[in-house]
Structure 1
């Protein structure tokens, strides 16, 4: 189950992506690593990991 900080960060990221008219294709919680993975963008090139403390980073 995602933490409250993680849930808020995910909501903010998805809101920003939608404001930029970027589709979100995958939104998945990984219980093993306790991270949320977001795949977005017209060409599916935006990959983001959100950690349990609410910090996030782009996957390169």
Structure 2
């Protein structure tokens, strides 16, 4: 299960993406690494670590 910090960060990321009319294609929790991944549109990949820190992947 995602942490509370991840849930808050995920909500903020999703709000930011939709503010710019970028569709959210996928939200996935990786049980192995405990990270959340958000795919915005076709090319925006975002990783949210268990501590809630957000990283945009290249």
Q: Same fold (TM over 0.5)?
A: yes
CA RMSD of aligned residues (A): 0.5
C-alpha separation in 1, matches of 2:55 and 2:6: 12
Shift of 1:28: 0.2
Deviations 1:5-59 (A, max 9, x none): 0000000000110111000001000011000011112xx1100000000001111
* Structure 2: segments with no counterpart, 5+ residues: none
* TM-score normalised by the chain length of structure 2: 0.96
* TM-score normalised by the chain length of structure 1: 0.93
Matched, 1:45 2:46: no
The number of residues matched between the two structures is 58
Post-superposition, which runs of at least 4 consecutive aligned residues in structure 1 deviate over 3 A?
Answer: none
